[in-house]
Amino acid sequence: MSTCAAVSRESAEPVAGTAATARTWLLIEQTGPWGGNALTDSHLDPDIGRALEAATDGTDVRVALIRRPGRHADCHAASPRRLFAAHTAPGRSWIRSTTVTDPRAVLGLDFTALGAGDHGGLWEPYVGEPLVLVCTNGKRDRCCALLGRPLAAELAASGAETWEITHIGGHRFSPTLFVLPYGYAYGRASAHLVKDAVEAARDGRITLDHCRGRSAWSRPAQAADLAVRELLREERADALDVVRADAVRPEPRRTDGRAPVGGPVAGSAPAWSVAIAHTDGRLWRVAVEQRADGAPAPASCGAPLGPPARMAVTSITAITSTHAATRPASLVVPVP
């Protein structure tokens, strides 16, 4: 078994709470090869890439390049390219799309408004099949190419609206992908799992199997959402929302202000209290800790083994209920 296969299929590291975080995605079609930092190392003008990085900083908009699966023409000439903007917050998800020949057009967008979920009538509403975006950038991580590209090709051949994408994090969970409009990501994915996820998205649902979380939320909130969904067996995509996520033990810092390398310091693991609301009025408080108690794992495929850092849900407390007669308001569900 290859290193990539061993990492992606045999690792025991949980995938919940590992999705890339972005409330809004800006996706730019760019054919040809991609480098490790695709925005500045591809056939996209690097000046445009740098301008996009600066313009979207702090706006909750994440920019990525996309291309159709298959052979990638090494084309430098101007040609029509597809653009998508997608907001993933519950109850307010949308996708807008257009086609341009000059990608500089994106530099005039109001990224602050887009990050807040206000498209302002931008472009045209996308009304097609759910979008499947499979990470395939081998220059960023070889497993994304070795495992992601065959999956993307198989999905495209099956008729799914599939695109390859440059980088969505969590390479060690390859093949990894996310589905729009809801923005739920999946890891260690198979074609069968993705087809189920697409079918569910058509009906406004998600699948919980191999789910990493919804990109609209922080990673502790992603883990809390999935834990409540597992408890309720709730698959409706917009049935749950994150009301708030408060740090109860902050992440320890190094003396230079950066996060510690290799996960939290022993005995001071960061923790959060996350409030999850259901559309029927129920509310839960979910306790989440960042732990490093699993087997050593690489940060990406082929990297040295290091201390893991996973999101662990330790309890779920129902603090309101529409079924008060049968469910105590203070019911606590411990999670090992």
**Strand 131-135 versus strand 161-165 pairing type:** parallel
Answer for the pair 272, 312: CB distance below 8 angstroms, yes or no: no
Residue 331 has pLDDT above 60, yes or no: no
Q: What is the Rg, in whole angstroms, of the alpha carbon atoms belonging to the chain?
A: 20
Q: Tokens 């033990």 label which residue? A: 249
DSSP 166: S
Ramachandran region of residue 188, left (φ > 0), alpha (ψ -120 to 50) or beta? left
Q: How far is CA 241 from CA 7, 88, 281, 322, in A?
A: 32, 11, 11, 17
DSSP 261: T
pTM of the predicted structure, to 2 decimals: 0.85
Residue 157 has pLDDT above 80, yes or no: yes
Confidence of residue 277 (pLDDT cuts 50, 70, 90): very high
* Cβ-Cβ contacts under 8 Å for 167 (sequence gap 6 or more): 38, 64, 135, 137, 140
Among 7-21, 113-127, 233-247, 277-291, the minimum mean pLDDT is found in: 7-21
Ramachandran region of residue 204, left (φ > 0), alpha (ψ -120 to 50) or beta? left
Confidence of residue 1 (pLDDT cuts 50, 70, 90): very low
Answer for the pair 113, 85: CB distance below 8 angstroms, yes or no: no
Terminal Cα-to-Cα distance of the chain (whole angstroms)? 32
pLDDT digits (tens, 9 = 90+) for 92-148: 999 999 999 999 999 999 999 999 999 999 999 999 999 999 999 877 778 888 888
What does pLDDT average to over the chain? Answer: 85
Token output for 249:
């033990």
Residue 262 has pLDDT above 50, yes or no: no
